[in-house]
Amino acid sequence: GRGLRAQMVMLAVAVLLFFPALDAGELFGERVGGFVMPAGTSVAVGAFIFGIGMQLGGGCASGTLFTVGGGSVRMVVTLVFFVIGSVIGTAHLAWWLALPSFGAYSFIHRWGLGPALAVNLGLFAAIFLLTVIVERRRGVDAPATVSADWLRGPWPLLAGAIGLALLNFATLWIAHRPWGVTSGFALWGAKGFALAGADMAGWPYWEKRMAAIEASIFRDTTSVMNFGIMAGAMLAAGLAGRFKPSLRLSAVDLLTAIVGGLLLGYGARLAFGCNIGAFFSGIASGSLHGWLWLVTGFAGNICGAWLRPRVGLSPV
């Protein structure tokens, strides 16, 4: 409940910042654009698969980077297969996009700035209040107040939510588009496939993206931000005294990391991103596909949580 409410605050702050800029088409004199993608079968299936992968693999895209930076060897395995799954997803994406879809739908451009803001903020408020009502009916006690250590963590949920919204807005300003994570994984994988001799120019997804494959990885904004997440996590783990990598992996840990990583990568490509690029940035961009990702990704998480104890992982 608390986590979902924090996400609603994050989204509310984000749309208040994003919608006026996207409606104007510029921010601080620079042209900007949002992530408005087709809301169809590919997003629904991809987000559902991604949700299952989150539970089996141990995290989302940014969470995987964070835990890798924190010294988790299991999540290194998840990341490697996340990258592989992403490339496989690019090979199949055209087929998925040919399936039924509502098309790209922007609330900002279809409804106008005012109505789009009002409806989205109303939905966030409704979800926020619903979680409060459900918790009260179940007799859930308010969590004990935990003093925050701003250097070592954890941060208060509300502060983290607002911080993420501001980070995404800063990305919109600097990169001229919202925050994304998984396109970087697809690029890493494509570079690896190309080095192994694959003709990536013959893949429909990559034929117009060959310049990115041939250029330095440090010219890709998403990749640089991903490296930053890992470096920041490593620093945070070191400051907290928690950076203690271990090579001990059970067969279950290894297998679920492989399967989870493949599902994460494949699902993210079908859904035009993860819970950052598709859900967070999609909704912040006023795109219907972000809301579709929320519903189907949540369903996938429920399914994945059901699977966890049945494949030997701890329940959630």
Does 29 fall in a domain? no
Closest CA to 68 of 187, 221, 181, 191: 181
Portion of the chain with pLDDT greater than 90, in percent: 78
How many structural domains compose the chain?
Answer: 1
Does 221 fall in a domain? yes
Q: How confident is the model at residue 148 (pLDDT cuts 50, 70, 90)?
A: low
Does 208 fall in a domain? yes
Q: How confident is the model at residue 101 (pLDDT cuts 50, 70, 90)?
A: very high
The model's pTM: 0.92
Q: What is d(CA 61, CA 27) in angstroms, rounded to the nearest whole number? A: 27
Does 30 fall in a domain? no
Q: Is the pLDDT of residue 146 over 70?
A: no
Q: How confident is the model at residue 149 (pLDDT cuts 50, 70, 90)?
A: low
Q: Which domain holds residue 66?
A: 2-13+37-139+170-311
Residues 50-77: pLDDT tens digits? 999 999 998 888 888 888 877 788 999 9
pLDDT at 19: 98
Does 203 fall in a domain? yes
Q: Is the pLDDT of residue 147 over 60?
A: no
Does 147 fall in a domain? no
Which of 56-70, 108-122, 250-264 has the weakest average pLDDT? 56-70
pLDDT at 18: 98
- Look up residue 219 and give its two tokens: 């010219």
pLDDT at 71: 78
Does 49 fall in a domain? yes
The residue that leads in pLDDT, 167 or 140, is: 167
Residues 219-240: pLDDT tens digits? 999 999 999 988 888 887 776 6
Does 148 fall in a domain? no
